[in-house]
Every structure is written in structure tokens, then in C-alpha cells.
Structure 1
């Protein structure tokens, strides 16, 4: 038995704690927030328990299914036929299947054929290969042409990554295409999943299992320092008190690591500092009226400064309409300084542009959640710059969502990494 501290009570931290305590270790989870779950945590939204940041499940998310089976909640998965839309120049169009592509008015026939071929090959492709060292812009233009990139893709990249838009890895966008493209009932029908009761169902099951097996979860308990002596981790400082541990797993954003682990070598600190993150202001609206019939709508309209909306109630039954409007941006962007009220007013105006039947009387409730480290920026060649999970300090493992690359953030990758990090407590060769 080892004394193990896990910093961060999101999906990865909770999964690591569950597997570590199941292996017989004495585990304590430190979570700075007042609730467990991280980005998967719920809140009370005008009487509805729902995720602060939207989540959906795809059929390739095997690590999620395996964890749910272990926890005895495998029967809580639900699958729903869903659809996508594209709002282009003031008009909403169906998107995401071959007939929708053929009907799409914003592309000519050659553009459509090239685009369709790119999607087909991307879903069938087994590994990123040379996409790892290729910019998404170059990859998309090579397949579809500059006109398609400028019309359909550039606005989306520009409104998510801003000054980094032209230098995002093709491998990163490919995995997103493949994950969603592999979650289909048929060529014509997308099928996405959700956990009955929301991601809180999984978080509650994890917390319950950890505590039943003897683990401890401390909420509102930020760690201010990870302590090491002679190249080996010895404990953590929380609430001004140092506590001894034989192993520490950190799952907090790695930009926090240089201050959190002062004994790290300068080269390691520099590697963490070099990885960029952008923030998100994630707006949630509860409405009396549906905005579109689609789950996800991409937007390319010069009047609308967001890349898309997620009508979550077209996936999970929530009673009233629930729409997420994510504003991704570097936190240095002047727009980040806008008040929540300003963002909500702007975004609701955008929803009314997408559906002109929507009125102020349809708004029931609205809320904004903000994260300063929400999305890692993954340039071409990013894999070579991700530090090892097992650090140069014996007994200390560090990872956050950028380690999932080329996969994007998600509960499934958190579950997978949590299992691996727990296994590496006793067997560091897990990481090679």
C-alpha cells in the first residue's frame, strides 16, 4: 500500500483515484472546487441538473463504456439519432450526410465531391501519420481547395483559435472528424450518446466507489505545492499544511505546474510553460422554443462572432430547450473582459438571427461558466513537445488534457489516462 495524493477531481483524477484505491493504495483526492467532476460537474440550472460544459458520447469512446461497466452503471448509456446543421450567410442548412452535402448551396459540385472524399477517407484512416506535422489549413486546402477552406473552415478556426488559427495540427482536427464520423447508425444517420442523468451519474458513481473502497475526496481543497526531496516526491501542501505521500498524480492544467512544483528542473518548467491554452466562456440558455432541429450547428456568418451552437436538448431530454453557446478565445483577447451580461445579450441576439421566431419572451434562464485553461493549442509537431507523464521526480506523474493529443478533451480520454496513471504508481514502465 502506498499513500497517494491525486490533485484535481475531474474525470481523469477521479478515474485515477478509483483504480488506485481498487489496487489497494491509500488515496486522497484534492479538488479546489466545491464539487467533484471538473468540466463534467453539474449545477442546478433553474431546477435542472446539467453539465456546466456540454458533453456527448461517441461510439469509439470505449474507455467510458469500460469504466461504466466496472461501476455497475453500464445500463445508463443512451443513444439518440442526431443531426448537424450549417448556418451560412443567413440561412440554415442540414449538414453531415451525403444528401445534405449534395444539396448544400454554398459549394459547387467539384467542391462537394472533394469535401465528401476528404470526410470518407478521414473516417477510414487508422492513424494520423504525417498529419501530426501538417497544419490543418494546409491539409484541408490540399483536399478541398482554398475556396472551401475560406468558406467553411477558416471562420470556425478564426473564432476558436484567433491568432493561432493557421497553426493548428491537422492530426487534432482529424481525430475530431473521425470520432464523430465513426458514431453513426448508417451512412445517412449520425447517432450520439449521453449518460442517463448526465455526466453527474458517472461522477457520483466514481465518488461513491472511491469512498466505499476507503479513499478520501477533499473538496474546496486547493494544493499550493507539490513537495520533493532528493529527486523523490514526499508530499503536498494544502491549506497551509504539508502532508506526506509516497506518490502524487497531478491532473490540473500544466501551465500551473511550474509554480506548483518549485523543485522541477528549469528545462521541465520551460516545457510546461511552452504549451498554450485558450479559455472558454460557455453560455447556457434555457428557452421555451427550439432554435434548430439539430444537435450541433456550425456558423459562418459575418454578423455572428461564434463558430457554432449546441442544442443539447436535441440529444438529452431536458424538458425545456437547452442551448450551449461556447466562446473560445485566448484570455488576452479583449472580448474575454466582457461581462457575463454583455456576452449573454450578444449571444442571445445571435440565436435570434439563427431563428428569427425566437423572442425575448422565450428566454427562461441563462448562465455563464468560464475556464481560463479550456483548450490546448496543438500546433503541427505537438506530440514531440508533450512532456513525459512520469516526471524526473520519482513518484510524481503529471498530465492534463493536452496529453490526450491527438485526441481532444473528453471523459473517455480522462478515463483512459486515469487508469494508466494508477497502474504506473507501481509500474512506471507503463509509460515506456
Structure 2
């Protein structure tokens, strides 16, 4: 069949790989000039680096298997980096023992915190939590002090005004499916997407960049796709992997359709190249509500900075509404606003430490997973028989991640008989 795939991220490229191996004529249309979608990369010290921080877990089997299949296993290494939280100072928070020693907790708090986290590791079916609000569950089982200290700041930092409505199924997935060991594809995850691109094109497939979808319709047997530059394509089957608001707009679906009800937050992220280290941890959650950002990730506390020309690589990340000032402000001005808060993390910090920086935004990065969310998830099947939707919003309850996107691509291509 003649197969069109909209989007060259993890889902789109994996679906293209499956389909082209099965002998289909495949064309991938990507809106930007880059591979990888939310895992797209820039370059630091001559080495590709993700624009938004990325790692994988031991449980990410689909990702690990694809890395192996493409001959990249030699670059995948697992680490045990340190994690901390900032609340009235820096605190180690990366192991069960460190979590239970948190100074704000009484003995009872520690017992309830440990028992609630252990229970979530044991529960294998997150569907039991679909209609439960995360903070309600945590207040009941982990206790009010633990919830106010740990879970409320994290959910508020991520979801803002929606924090009280976030489903426990989402939080269960974040706790149940994660491991203390983190994997990184040394040399950057771009290697994976480059290998997929080469595997697709070597088998006769095409990947076209700077082709944002402007129209999609199926007036007859074939699916017609138009792009912003005026190009027109005709396919037997189309797999759409871009966020559903983009699909709905191109398909002419009314704004009150279910496809529009799933709300998204935007992501913003600085990549700072420093001449010295900022924090002692790889990952630092910011539990102080005064701060204007959610997390600081010092990538080179997990990956040797020699891979980046000796620079210390630090991410400063956020999830915000698209109308929020942290999404709309000029990046240089925003960085100047962040600098005093970085100094609060490290009193010695000076802006002269920043040798270079880059800033990225993504308008549809984080679905807001409320108890009603599951009922709003659209089917992979659309009103057009030749069009299949395979987007991040359909990954539930995990909601994001390269491995889940890869697994969904395999599922969709198998269901359509394309693999």
C-alpha cells in the first residue's frame, strides 16, 4: 500500500520502519526541519543532545529492543545518578533510605510515605485509580504532611491550577513503572532516529522535512494530504502522529469535538553550557513554589562532560500553559529572570558561568490527565477509514515517553496489517 505518516518523531519513524520492512511504499511528512519530535536534538561540544531532557528506564522494553535491533546497544548504558529536591535547601532524595530520612518527616510520616510508595509499586493495574484524584489518595494514604511537602509541590509545579484534578492513575504510572537506574544512549538519542531514517530510506521510503500538514481529507477511496507549502499527496492509508489539535485543525473538526477537549500544557527548556557544575545532583525537583521553574537537570552529573567538550550541561525545564509568560517571554529576558533563582540553588552561581545556551519550546507537550481523561481519549480509528490517529494523548496512563511511543507504533501498524 501507499502509506503516509504525519510526523517524524518516535511514533512516526517507528511506524515507517515497520511498514517499509513489510514492503509498503512509505512517505513521512515532518513539519519541522528536525528528526525526533519532542526528542529532537541540538549539538553541544560536537555531540548531539536532546533539546528536552531524556533518559529511559529498565522497564522501557520497546525502546531497548529497538535500540538493539538497530545495532546501537553498545551506546546504551545504565547509570544510578543522584536525585534531590530543593525545599529550604538541597536534600538528597534518590534512594528509599534518603527519602525516609527527609528532615521534615516524623517517624509516622516516614512509615506512611514508605508504605504508600511500596503499595504503588506492588499494584500492577493502574486502572483501579482512573477515577481517583492523586492528591486525595496521597492525603489519605501517605498523610497530609508528606503530601504537602512532596506531592502537592510537584503536581502544582507541573500542572499548575489543574494539580488538584490530576488522576491517581497518572501518578501511579510515574511511580510503578520507573526504576532507580536510568539509561542513556551515549552520543544522543538522535542516533536512534537517524538509524530509523536510514533504515526507512534504504528500503525505498521517503522522509520529507518542512512539510506541516495543512489539510487532510478522504473524499473517496484515497486519503488526500496537503502541506503548508502547497504540496499535495494521495495515500491508501495515513497514520497521524502529531498532537490531536493539529490533526483536528487540518481535518476541519469543530473545536467542541472530543479531540479538542484533551488539554495540553506546553514545555519550555533551557540548555545551559556552564564552565563549572551548578548542583550536586543529576535531577533536582523544585518543591519551593516561589521558583519559576519545575526542575533542574545537570545532565553531565550522569554523562561524562568530556562528551560535550568539557562543558557542564544543565537543563532548566517547565510545563506551562501556552499563554503563560514563561512561554511567551523572549528567551534572553527569561534567562535573566531565572538567574537569581539559579543563584538560590548555588549561592556561588554567576551568569558568567554560562558560556552558551539554547532555548526550546513545544506547544503540545504534556496532556492534563484528569479522572475524566480516559473517557476523552480518542480511538485510533477516525471518521476517515483510511486515517489512523496515533498520538501522545492516547498513551495512558503513562502519557509520555519514547518507549511508549515506539510500542504504540508497533501496535498500530500490526492492527492495520502494515507490519
Aligned to 1:249: 239
- Alpha-carbon distance in 1 for matches of 2:144, 2:364: 31
Mapping 1:30-45, distance limit 5 Å:
30-45=29-44
Q: CA deviation at 1:235?
A: 2.2
Residues 48 and 343 (structure 1 numbering): CA distance in 2 closer, same or farther, change over 3 Å? farther
- Alpha-carbon distance in 1 for matches of 2:136, 2:413: 39
Aligned to 1:404: 395
- Alpha-carbon distance in 2 for matches of 1:31, 1:393: 21
Aligned to 1:235: 224
Q: CA deviation at 1:376?
A: 0.6
Judge conservation of contact 2:268–2:326 (CA < 8 Å) in 1: no
How big is each residue's C-alpha offset from its partner over 1:243-302, in whole Å with a ceiling of 9 and x where there is no partner? 21100000011011222113x6x69x7010111001111111111222222211111224
So what's the TM-score if we normalise by structure 2?
Answer: 0.94
1:219 and 2:209 correspond: yes
1:368 and 2:384 correspond: no
Aligned to 1:128: 126
Mapping 1:155-174, distance limit 5 Å:
155-174=153-172
Judge conservation of contact 2:275–2:354 (CA < 8 Å) in 1: yes
Mapping 1:17-416, distance limit 5 Å:
17-45=16-44, 47-89=46-88, 91-180=89-178, 183=179, 190-230=180-220, 233-238=222-227, 239-262=229-252, 270-319=257-306, 320-416=311-407
How big is each residue's C-alpha offset from its partner over 1:398-418, in whole Å with a ceiling of 9 and x where there is no partner? 121111110131110111111
Judge conservation of contact 1:155–1:307 (CA < 8 Å) in 2: no
Structure 1 stretch displaced more, 10-19 or 316-325: 316-325
So what's the TM-score if we normalise by structure 1?
Answer: 0.91
Aligned to 1:187: none
- Alpha-carbon distance in 2 for matches of 1:234, 1:255: 19
Judge conservation of contact 1:18–1:206 (CA < 8 Å) in 2: yes
- Alpha-carbon distance in 2 for matches of 1:37, 1:49: 12
Q: CA deviation at 1:114?
A: 0.6
- Alpha-carbon distance in 1 for matches of 2:249, 2:295: 35
Q: CA deviation at 1:385?
A: 1.4
How big is each residue's C-alpha offset from its partner over 1:124-153, in whole Å with a ceiling of 9 and x where there is no partner? 221113211111111111111222222222
Judge conservation of contact 1:325–1:347 (CA < 8 Å) in 2: no
- Alpha-carbon distance in 2 for matches of 1:115, 1:168: 19
Q: CA deviation at 1:48?
A: 4.0
2:414 pairs with one of 414, 418, 423: 423
Judge conservation of contact 2:262–2:373 (CA < 8 Å) in 1: no
- Alpha-carbon distance in 2 for matches of 1:97, 1:258: 43
Q: CA deviation at 1:317?
A: 2.1
- Alpha-carbon distance in 1 for matches of 2:81, 2:177: 15
Q: Secondary structure at the match of 1:82?
A: coil
- Alpha-carbon distance in 1 for matches of 2:204, 2:339: 47
How big is each residue's C-alpha offset from its partner over 1:90-123, in whole Å with a ceiling of 9 and x where there is no partner? x111113232123211221111111111111112
Q: CA deviation at 1:233?
A: 4.6
Judge conservation of contact 1:131–1:170 (CA < 8 Å) in 2: yes
How many residues get paired?
Answer: 414
Q: CA deviation at 1:422?
A: 1.8
- Alpha-carbon distance in 2 for matches of 1:388, 1:152: 35
Question: Which runs of 5 or more residues in structure 1 are unaligned?
Answer: 184-189
- Alpha-carbon distance in 2 for matches of 1:8, 1:332: 25
- Alpha-carbon distance in 1 for matches of 2:349, 2:2: 55
Residues 163 and 233 (structure 1 numbering): CA distance in 2 closer, same or farther, change over 3 Å? farther
- Alpha-carbon distance in 1 for matches of 2:299, 2:38: 16
Q: Secondary structure at the match of 2:181?
A: strand
Judge conservation of contact 2:6–2:213 (CA < 8 Å) in 1: yes
Q: CA deviation at 1:46?
A: 5.6
